[in-house]
Amino acid sequence: MVRKRVLSGVQPTGALHLGNWLGAIRNWVELQKNHETFVCVVDLHALTVPNDPKILSENTISTAALYIACGMNPKECSIFVQSQISAHSELCWLLNCVTPLNWMERMIQFKEKSIKQGDNVSIGLLDYPVLMSADILLYDADLVPVGEDQKQHLELARDIAQNRINSRFGTKKNPILKVPQSLILKEGAKIMSLTEGNSKMSKSDPNENSRITLLDSPDLIAKKIKRAKTDAEVGLEFDNPNRPEANNLLTLYSILSGLGREVVAKECATMGWGEFKPLLAEATIAALTPIQSRYNGLMNERDELNNILKIGRDQAEEVADATLKRLQNAMGLLSRS
């Protein structure tokens, strides 16, 4: 039986945090068991915000190592670096030429990020979701496991594939691109900031106490949790819209401890914050310690890591080049042979 295909990626813009792991990578680890899975480090996307070149390449390797440390198995999936496969940029151009500008101006993340960049908004930032569509469509992905914040970008990829490529250049019987579906977990799809329960945990938040990164030391984790914003009530509960911090920290605890929502809701129903926070810190440290020790081992084996990325690149390139060629032909570009 042909396995369904999965594609996803994370930007190497800084240390990955609990949101990236619990909202996305955790899901990839399960999916790789019975899907053909491609995961890439999307370094071209990282260029849309100001970057130090040395730090970018180091972050790219470190992000790949974290994928593996979190449980991505190079024997079961393909792990690669986006910029090493030129088809991503080439497909992006083809898609650019059929995507209306006003679709891009509507993108929520573009609006948010462009406010922060003031007069320096690059075309790359505007075009970012088209590049992301190219990432997905190149692999004929059936499923794209992401956190909730990527939902609108996934809709765009579907729209481009269906309404701008297949309906113009393909036929019903012979569509050119596969129309992908997003896969968003029920729990963990939107992990919130530790310092503001109504904002999502984000790599770009200037306040480092707002997030726990996968590489934070046990002391730092305990400190960040101790400082996390709370409210004045005793007894913790899920889903009370007036208590976003309680919902977020309980969600973290239920996933990281592995106890699940029901058990945690009961255990914490009468608990005060002073009793709860050490429990959450302990569960977080216990969950991250094995990831950190695998990560440290991998970062000391650079040759091995580079070899994994090379194998992943070869596997990915074969699929990507075939899709690119299909679309080039359909759009009337003269083939090379």
Q: Nearer to ligand TYM by C-beta: 7 or 308?
A: 7
Binds ligand TYM (CB under 6 A): choice among 32, 60, 147, 246: 147
Catalytic pick among 4, 151, 178, 203: 203
Nearest residue to ligand TYM on Cβ basis: 23
Q: Is 203 a catalytic residue?
A: yes
Binds ligand TYM (CB under 6 A): choice among 76, 90, 149, 205: 149
Residue 66 near ligand TYM by CB under 6 A: no
Binds ligand TYM (CB under 6 A): choice among 31, 79, 201, 214: 201
Catalytic pick among 4, 113, 190, 325: 113
3-state secondary structure the chain: CCCCEEEEEECCCCCCEHHHHHHHHHHHHHHCCCCEEEEEECHHHHCCCCCCHHHHHHHHHHHHHHHHHCCCCCCCEEEEEHHHCCHHHHHHHHHHCCCCHHHHHCCHHHHHHHHHHHHHCCHHHHHHHHHHHHHHHCCCCCEEECCHHHHHHHHHHHHHHHHHHHHHHCCCCCCCCCCCEEECCCCCCCCECCCCCCCECCCCCCCHHHCCECCCCHHHHHHHHHHCCCCCCCCCCCCCCCCHHHHHHHHHHHHHHCCCHHHHHHHHCCCCHHHHHHHHHHHHHHHHHHHHHHHHHHHCCHHHHHHHHHHHHHHHHHHHHHHHHHHHHHCCCCCCC
Q: Nearer to ligand TYM by C-beta: 41 or 283?
A: 41
Q: Is 229 a catalytic residue?
A: no
Binds ligand TYM (CB under 6 A): choice among 29, 132, 221, 309: 132
Residue 42 near ligand TYM by CB under 6 A: yes
Q: Is 111 a catalytic residue?
A: no
Window contacting ligand TYM (CB under 6 A); options: 4-12, 53-61, 243-251, 262-270: 4-12
Q: Nearer to ligand TYM by C-beta: 24 or 298?
A: 24
Q: Cβ of residue 55: shortest distance to ligand TYM, in angstroms?
A: 16
Residues lying near ligand TYM in the complex (CB under 6 A) are found at 7-11, 19-20, 23-24, 42, 45, 132, 135-136, 144, 146-147, 149-150, 153, 189-191, 200-201
Residues identified as active-site: 113, 200, 203
